[in-house]
A and B are shown apart, each in its own frame.
Chain A
Amino acid sequence: MLSITIENLTFSYPDCSSPALHEINLTMEAGEFIVITGATGAGKSTLLRSINGVIPHFQPGTLQGNVWLDGATPSGRVPVARVSAPQLARFIGSVFDDPEGQIVSPIVEEEIAFGLENTGVDPAQMDGRIAKALADCGISHLRHRATSSLSGGQKQRVAIAAALALAPKILVLDEPTSELDPDGTEAVLNVLSELNKNHGITIIIAEQKVTLLAPLCDRLVLLEKGRIALQGPPRQVFLHPHIFAKLGVELPAPARLAHALVQEGVLPPFDSPDAPPIPLTVEEAFTLSRQLL
């Protein structure tokens, strides 16, 4: 079991007057599906980068506080900053937003093998692990394809499979669908949901697409100028539409509908004991509306 504890984390990029992250305290349990969201520049990427070791290993700047990796060693917890980036790959898999910039090999199976080769896995085991990683991402049929011939959604799933091949307990994904079309986005998010449900892999994802992720995730974390503005399970977080409005993050349409119904007096306020749960999906919103008719 591998969990992450962030303690008083403050990070400033060089030549920046205000810190990108300010006194962040956050715990991420093993097996959680966590969505980090917020407006551009709120610190989503910075937070993820301090979890997967890009900060401080690649990104210069001033770092205060700690990101603890609990259960990585028999002796207990280690700070991410003390583990080298390649060492960290065995615990935390990283997927970035640019599908093109993270694929290094000309053929899909070689791409998956890349991490295995780097971490010194016995070549006799590689075929099995490559097949499993591809199957877990639903892309076994792409194994012998040229990476340059894949669509964006396929490339991102290859990137996820490549990270997954190293059997990490945690996947950290920085806006993995930002360059994808709706089909590609859906395929990638479905894979993440499967990995979380069926394999217990912790998913930490920065995304703008709250509507799509709300039904899949356990917890939403809203960032505002480097601070945590709001966090909790989606149904709880959606009870605060004014915070979403203030941060410029779009509240999903089903939740907006429910709030409108409350304002019209058709539904009891959500903080009253007989209030229905706030809908996360169009189907839930439909069922709710149907009950009212």
Chain B
Amino acid sequence: MSVSIEYIPTGSPVHRLHALTKLLFALAVLTISMLLSQPLPLLLLFFSLLGIAALASVSQEILSAVKGLLKVAFFLVLLQMFFYPEGTVLFAPVSSLPGLAVTDQGILFGISIALRMMVIVTSFLLFLTTTPARSTVLSLVEYLKVPYDYAFLFITALRFIPTFLEEVRLIGQAQEARAHDFSGGGPLARLKTIFPLALPLVMISLQRAERMAMAMETRGFGLPGRTYYRTEKPGAVDIMVIVALLSAVAVAVLLRF
């Protein structure tokens, strides 16, 4: 199972939407899926998500993730089937334990839960595959007033992932060249073998953090009145999508109560 949660730049209309619009979309889908309890509407919602994935040209990644989710969904249905007591009993595998009886409503409830899980995960996958993390973070700074320092922390962490992986590889090779065995036996032994990798990595990172602070301040980091190179403003389409999303949530709430 390969679940891609990376940004996939395809330049589709969905990609061009503002990060906050897409975040709101994921949250709206989450809310609506919580309000829906019947399998059919949830299934429709799920298929419309797949439609959006196709529009965003990320169907392949989403479908491969859905394939993985199906296994989890199957397990969820199975679990709910046996532990949902209400409804007409279809069959009871162990006659002395009436609690384990499989009911019609139990099956429906299980399917709903599984679908809801799939809808929520898929909607967030859609958000992540169509929105660069940087856009999300900067939107949070600009519109939701998250302090820039925290946002910067996050962006820099993203930037350092490839560097860390390269360093892990180099340190690993260096230690193996000195006859260190990383494949050691049980879980406890395995944990012990990690130390010769983790210690140099931590030391290098601390040193680098200090140099980085120096490099940042010599380029003006920390001055008041910071500006932003690329600010993304929500467009007319964003407003329309946001209005549509909010109305959909409102309708779902009204139908439910």
Binding site for B on A (CB under 8 A): 52-54, 57-58, 85-90, 92-94, 96, 98, 100-106, 109-110, 113-123, 126, 130, 147-148, 159, 162-163, 166
Contact = CB atoms under 8 A, between A and B. Distances in A.
A54 B219 CA distance: 12
Interface stretch (B83-91, B105-113, B116-124, B207-215): B207-215
A101 B159 contact: no
A248 to B, nearest CB: 27
A86 B215 contact: no
Given A58-B214, A96-B214, A106 B159 contact: yes
Given A58-B214, A100-B163, A102-B211, A122 B227 contact: yes
23 contacts: A54-B218, A57-B217, A58-B217, A86-B218, A86-B219, A86-B223, A87-B223, A89-B220, A100-B163, A101-B208, A101-B215, A102-B212, A102-B215, A105-B159, A114-B219, A118-B220, A118-B226, A119-B223, A121-B227, A123-B229, A123-B230, A126-B229, A159-B215
A116 B221 CA distance: 10
A106 B220 contact: no
Contacts, number: 103
A180 B228 CA distance: 32
A93 B211 CA distance: 15
B159 A148 contact: yes
A123 B159 CA distance: 23
Nearest to B231: A123
Interface residues of A, dominant DSSP? helix
Contacts of B155: 105-106
B219 A162 contact: yes
Contact of A117 (B134, B162, B228): B228
Contacts of A102: 211-212, 215
Contacts of B226: 117-118, 120
Given A110-B229, A121-B227, A123-B229, A115 B214 contact: no
Interface string B227-247: 111110000000000000000
Contacts of B224: 120
Given A100-B208, A101-B208, A101-B212, A86 B227 contact: no
- B214, B230, B231: which has the most chain A beta carbons within 10 Å? B214
Query: What are the 4 closest A-B residue pairs judged by CB atoms, nearest first?
Result: A118-B220, A102-B215, A113-B229, A148-B162
B219 to A, nearest CB: 4
Contact of A85 (B211, B218, B230): B218
B33 to A, nearest CB: 33
Given A101-B208, A120-B223, A94 B218 contact: yes
A116 B159 contact: no
B220 A96 contact: no
B218 A88 contact: yes
Contacts of A113: 229-230
B27 to A, nearest CB: 26
